[in-house]
Amino acid sequence: MDSAVFSPADQLIFNGSDPTAFSVVACDQYTSEPEYWEDTARLAAGKPSALHLIFPEVYLKSPDFENRVSTVNQNMEDALKQGIFTEYPDALIYLERTLRSGKIRRGLIGKIDLEAYDFSPGSQSPVRATEGTVLERIPPRVRIREQAPLELPHIMLLMDDRRREVLEPLAESKSRLQKLYGFPLMMGSGRLDGWLLGEEETARILALLKKMASHAEFDEKYGIPGKSPLPFAVGDGNHSLASARQHYLNCKEKLGEEAARRHPSRYALAELVNLHDESLEFEPIHRILTGVSPERLLGELNRAHPLSDTPIPSGQKLGILQNGQLREVWMTQPSRNLPVGTLQEFLDGYLAQNPGEIDYIHGAEVTASLSRQEQSIGFLLDGMDKNDLFPTVILDGALPRKTFSMGEAWDKRFYWEARKIR
């Protein structure tokens, strides 16, 4: 490999007068709440906004998909011509994201080498998926990216920096860095502040990241023989990153191996966050099924994994929501190590044979509300201990998809940085 896995990038930062209107939440949020995106559109109306440069996934199945893609691509071209961005070449940017709770999440914006990422089961690449990748979700996202001149990232990489050497010192030295921006985010979602790293801090961090990827560091942390180092795991935006990689592979076919390696599509902009950041909390992701017969579904679930209304030592806890009412059960005879795995395996099989749609929801209250719709049922799941993440991925590979979420929807990445990809 001829480049660092995570490195500085040529970053474009919005330079207009209303950053709050420009910055919007990750496109894969609020997929069952179109009213959120309608409110966002009202706030962004008539203003330069990332909303015009992304494709909210609530509209992925809309009949005007191709028109929306073309509009996004044209909006990107127009934004570049209008000069709404200032470019910071070969830059690492330290950011502090104030969450709605008041906690601060520290991150570092740079680019990831897609040659170092592989979401395939059993992957030993330096960057791996933490959840199962749904292959049918990739093509429409590649279609959005393939003609786009820009990327705006909602990818978040995690590192297991137990000694807190990489990002935490920047919080103490930021007064010596050049501050690039600071503004409140829309919809009461907190605040974003960012500083440009100088040469000294950049060199320090790149050296630490190189050390983190070494076999010696890996063996010291985990003591797991026969496995390759895992310096980075994808925390958020796995399908976005998978789509970026597929687009790069397509470029390889079109341009040839050597030309593609020098092409900007080889990289994807991402935020690097320490797994041990105090603000980082793993939240469960719940399920809502619509267009189903709840009685039939529960009958099949009971046959597959007999349900008990009282705790069973070998059982797996599950919350069932019907008409907004919660019933706690324990699935006996589980098929996977985690309740989410047992449930997801069952739901995948059930939906393959029966009508219905599934969506993945952040927040128990939203799931309860959606369960009040006709022909709907919700499932609540407990979260996982974040300290188990890296050892589990190293030993077992990706977790069942949508196992956890890092915080509520309003605390997700907001689009702000951009990078040219052609």
Residues 6+ apart with CB under 8 A from 63: none
Report whether 72 contacts 148 (CB < 8 A): yes
Average pLDDT over residues 259-279: 96
Report whether 73 contacts 150 (CB < 8 A): no
Render pLDDT for 284-331 as a digit per residue (tens, 0 to 9).
Answer: 999 999 999 999 999 999 999 999 999 999 999 999 999 999 999 999
pTM metric for this prediction: 0.84
Q: Residue 174: what pLDDT?
A: 96
Average pLDDT over residues 381-396: 88
Report whether 105 contacts 273 (CB < 8 A): yes
Which is nearest to 331 in space by CA: 309, 353, 361?
Answer: 309
Displacement of CA 91 from its chain's centroid (Å): 22
Q: Residue 328: what pLDDT?
A: 98
Split at pLDDT 50, 70, 90, the class of 3 is low
Q: Phi and psi at residue 380, in whole multiples of 5°?
A: -100, 140
- The token duo for 44 is 């962004």
Instruction: With a cut of 70, say whether residue 358 has pLDDT above it.
Output: yes
Where exactly are the structural domains of the chain?
6-282+408-420, 286-380
Split at pLDDT 50, 70, 90, the class of 32 is confident
